[in-house]
């Protein structure tokens, strides 16, 4: 019969005390507590003494939940490290300085919010590219796996696909963490388990495969890999169209005023419609937009650009929450977990 | 004095001083300091009567990191997963100087007022 692990019991208590707390915060709290208690035991303390010195789980949970997340200061991760705790959201943010003050201006402050720009960039490039590549990968390998399932070759292929999707999701999470600013602590996987006679054994290859198959995040990641393609494509289209509209509404009147463009129509065209103004080309086919329309076009274009940035900021937050819900679940009850890797 | 009030005062004193002590321990460490080591020193070197639960340390470090006073780094370990360790930042050193100065002035003020009181009488 397996011996009860006091640290695992304490962590289970802590997990219960963290119900209702943000998943990333709960994850950090559990990882910090476990790392501390294991270090104390390793240093020669008894588990009971280490837990006593650490303090009640409820007090720790309350204090931890009240502490602000270090989400705007980058933790330096060493190469090859797999520690889940020090993974924090870094990258652009408007947390301090003049930029922060400007970003708090109502409505137009979004122009000075680095997260709005990084979100816009994310939806215009990485999001679309990652989702496209992942979709193609899943469809190709998934089809191959399904097609060869009758001759059993498909089985290892399907497991390989599941593993690869987990890796892709992890990489996507890091990009989301950097550009959208929502912490994505590493996944928690058991690397050691209690044996039936109370000893400790390393998790073997087949047990690891079993973990993948039983981890709901594997299947959610697979579903997300397929569904995200449509979400990402939709967002990409929306932001490309909005960007193009803003460019036309702002740049064309400015360029024409500066004499940089010569809008000319050829052929049978009699009139040109620019926003609400119908412009008749002159004898050479040149089109001149009126000054009033130009000014109004620039004003409207800037307003649309502001709305686009707000949309990017909001969509970025929602998107990151979805990715977080898929990737960052609370660490499982740790009764059988000794240490963690990503 | 009712024991509840006595406990509350000692607890407030512990909490109030812990911030300065934790930052000073991180600042005084030659190498990035691991949470357990900071907590051990915090608890082991605490004066009699003041008790620090080591768990209080982590929310403190988290807040300090959010405020840019310390920075967490991962130090590889040959005996297990990489350890999250803390180093003080330039802003942390600036704040530490302010806190130490405030503490010294508070100490002088306290000593002037309570210096003549003998706790044994």
Cα–Cα distance, A324 to A183 (Å, whole number) = 8
Q: The tokens 């289209």 sit on which residue? A: A237
Instruction: Report the pLDDT value the prediction gives residue B120, as an integer from 0 to 100.
Output: 56
Instruction: Report the pLDDT value the prediction gives residue A311, as an integer from 0 to 100.
Output: 96
Cβ B58–A64 below 8 Å, yes or no?
Answer: yes
Cα–Cα distance, A49 to B56 (Å, whole number) = 16
CB-based contact, A45 to chain B, within 8 Å? no
Domain extent, residue B40, equals: 3-114
Cα–Cα distance, A243 to A321 (Å, whole number) = 24
Cα–Cα distance, B66 to A42 (Å, whole number) = 29
Instruction: Report the pLDDT value the prediction gives residue B79, as an integer from 0 to 100.
Output: 59
Between β-strands B70-75 and B83-88, what pairing exists: parallel, antiparallel or unpaired? antiparallel
CB-closest option in B65, B67, B84 to A35:
B84
Judge whether B18 and B60 are in contact, CB under 8 Å.
yes
Cα–Cα distance, A37 to A275 (Å, whole number) = 67
Is A86 or B72 the better-scoring residue by pLDDT? Answer: B72
CB-based contact, B35 to chain A, within 8 Å? yes
CB-based contact, B45 to chain A, within 8 Å? no
CATH number at residue B70: 1.10.10.10
Instruction: Report the pLDDT value the prediction gives residue B92, as an integer from 0 to 100.
Output: 93
Is residue B63 a part of any domain in this protein?
yes
Among chain A residues, CA nearest to B32:
A76
Is residue B96 a part of any domain in this protein?
yes
Tens digits of pLDDT across chain A (342 residues): 445 678 888 888 888 888 888 877 888 888 888 888 888 888 888 888 889 888 889 888 988 887 776 654 333 333 333 333 333 344 445 455 677 777 778 888 889 988 999 999 999 999 999 999 999 999 999 999 999 988 888 888 988 998 899 889 888 888 998 898 887 765 545 454 444 554 445 566 777 787 778 778 888 889 999 999 999 999 999 999 999 999 989 988 888 888 776 666 666 666 777 777 777 777 776 777 788 888 999 999 999 999 999 999 999 999 998 888 887 655 444 434 444 333
**Which phi and psi angles does A265 have, rounded to 5°?**
-120, 145
CB-based contact, B46 to chain A, within 8 Å? no
In chain B, which among 97-116 make CB contacts under 8 A with chain A?
A: none
Is residue B119 a part of any domain in this protein?
no
**Which phi and psi angles does A200 have, rounded to 5°?**
-125, 135
User: Measured at the alpha carbon of residue A83, what is the angle toward residues A79 and A84, in degrees to the nearest 5?
Assistant: 125
Is residue B10 a part of any domain in this protein?
yes
Output the six-digit token pair for A165.
């999707």
Percent with pLDDT over 90 in chain B = 25
> How many other β-carbons are positioned within 10 Å of the β-carbon of residue A262?
11
Mean pLDDT of the region B101-106: 91
Is residue B79 a part of any domain in this protein?
yes
Cβ A76–B73 below 8 Å, yes or no?
Answer: yes
Is residue B121 a part of any domain in this protein?
no
Instruction: Report the pLDDT value the prediction gives residue A77, as an integer from 0 to 100.
Output: 35
Judge whether A188 and A34 are in contact, CB under 8 Å.
no
User: Measured at the alpha carbon of residue B81, what is the angle toward residues A86 and A200, in degrees to the nearest 5?
Assistant: 135
The total number of residues shown for chain A amounts to 342
- What contacts 24+ positions apart, CB below 8 Å, involve B79-83? B79/A42, B80/A38, B80/A339, B81/A35, B81/A82, B81/A83, B81/A339, B81/A340, B81/A341, B82/A78, B82/A81, B82/A82, B82/A83, B82/A86, B83/A35, B83/A39, B83/A83, B83/B34
Instruction: Report the pLDDT value the prediction gives residue A63, as an integer from 0 to 100.
Output: 87
pLDDT band at B87 (very low <50, low <70, confident <90, very high): very high
Instruction: Report the pLDDT value the prediction gives residue A239, as an integer from 0 to 100.
Output: 96
Tell me how close the Cα of A94 comes to any Cα of chain B, in angstroms: 13
Inter-CA distances, A87 with A31, A74, A213, Å = 11, 8, 25
Cβ B60–A67 below 8 Å, yes or no?
Answer: yes
Output the six-digit token pair for A178.
């950097």
Tell me how close the Cα of B101 comes to any Cα of chain A, in angstroms: 25
CB-closest option in A28, A55, A66 to B54:
A55
Cβ A83–B43 below 8 Å, yes or no?
Answer: no
> How many other β-carbons are positioned within 10 Å of the β-carbon of residue B84?
25
Whether the pTM exceeds 0.90: the reply is no
> Contacts of residue A341 in chain B, CB cutoff 8 Å?
81
Tell me how close the Cα of B43 comes to any Cα of chain A, in angstroms: 8
Instruction: Report the pLDDT value the prediction gives residue A70, as an integer from 0 to 100.
Output: 63
> Contacts of residue B35 in chain A, CB cutoff 8 Å?
32, 35-36, 39
Output the six-digit token pair for A271.
């009139």
Q: How many domains does chain B fold into? A: 1
CB-based contact, A319 to chain B, within 8 Å? no
Output the six-digit token pair for A159.
């497991």
For an interface test with B, the pick among A58, A75, A87 (most B C-beta atoms closer than 10 Å) comes out as: A75
Q: DSSP labels for A209-271?
A: HHHHHH-HHHHHHHHHHHHHHHHHHHHHHHHHHHHHHHHHHHHHHHHHHTT----B--TT---
Between β-strands A200-202 and A192-194, what pairing exists: parallel, antiparallel or unpaired? antiparallel
> Contacts of residue A96 in chain B, CB cutoff 8 Å?
68
Instruction: Report the pLDDT value the prediction gives residue A83, as an integer from 0 to 100.
Output: 33
Inter-CA distances, B120 with A145, B4, B5, B117, Å = 82, 21, 20, 9
ipTM over 0.90: no
Is residue B120 a part of any domain in this protein?
no
Cβ A39–B36 below 8 Å, yes or no?
Answer: yes
Output the six-digit token pair for A264.
């000319």
């Amino acid at each position: 019969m397996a011996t009860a692990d006091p640290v695992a019991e304490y962590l289970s208590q802590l997990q219960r005390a963290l119900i209702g707390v943000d998943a990333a915060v709960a994850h950090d709290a559990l990882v910090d507590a476990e790392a501390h208690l294991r270090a104390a035991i390793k240093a020669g303390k008894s588990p009971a003494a280490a837990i006593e010195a650490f303090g009640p789980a409820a007090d720790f949970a309350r204090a931890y939940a009240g502490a602000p997340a270090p989400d705007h200061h980058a933790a330096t991760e060493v190469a090859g490290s797999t520690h889940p705790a020090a993974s924090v959201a870094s990258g652009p943010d408007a947390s301090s300085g003049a930029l922060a003050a400007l970003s708090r201006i109502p409505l137009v402050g979004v122009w000075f919010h680095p997260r709005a720009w990084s979100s816009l960039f994310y939806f215009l490039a990485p999001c679309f590219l990652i989702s496209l590549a992942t979709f193609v990968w899943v469809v190709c390998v998934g089809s191959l796996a399904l097609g060869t399932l009758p001759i059993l070759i498909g089985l290892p292929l399907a497991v390989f696909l599941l593993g690869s999707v987990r890796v892709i999701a992890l990489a996507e999470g890091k990009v989301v963490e950097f550009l959208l600013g929502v912490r994505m602590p590493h996944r928690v996987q058991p690397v050691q388990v209690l044996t039936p006679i109370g000893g400790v054994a390393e998790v073997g290859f087949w047990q690891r495969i079993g973990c993948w198959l039983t981890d709901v995040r594997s299947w959610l990641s697979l579903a997300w890999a397929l569904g995200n393609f449509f979400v990402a494509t939709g967002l990409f289209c929306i932001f490309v169209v909005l960007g193009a509209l803003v460019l036309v509404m702002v740049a064309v009147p400015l360029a024409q005023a500066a004499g940089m463009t010569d809008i000319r129509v050829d052929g049978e065209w009699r009139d040109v419609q620019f926003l609400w103004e119908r412009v008749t080309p002159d004898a050479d086919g040149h089109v001149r937009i009126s000054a009033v329309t130009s000014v109004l076009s620039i004003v409207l274009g800037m307003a649309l650009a502001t709305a686009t940035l707000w949309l990017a900021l909001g969509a970025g937050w929602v998107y990151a929450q979805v990715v977080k819900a898929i990737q960052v679940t609370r660490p499982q009850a740790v009764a059988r977990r000794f240490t963690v890797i990503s | 004095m009712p024991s509840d009030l006595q406990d509350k005062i000692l607890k407030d004193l512990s909490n109030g001083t812990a911030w300065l002590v934790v930052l000073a321990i991180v600042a005084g460490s030659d190498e990035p300091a691991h949470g357990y080591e900071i907590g051990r020193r915090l608890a082991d070197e605490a004066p009699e009567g003041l008790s620090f639960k080591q768990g209080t340390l982590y929310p403190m470090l988290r807040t300090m990191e959010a405020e840019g006073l310390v920075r967490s780094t991962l130090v590889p370990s040959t005996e297990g997963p990489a350890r999250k360790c803390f180093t003080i930042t330039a802003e942390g050193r600036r704040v530490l100087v302010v806190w130490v100065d405030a503490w010294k002035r508070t100490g002088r003020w306290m000593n002037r007022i309570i210096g003549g009181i003998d706790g044994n009488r």
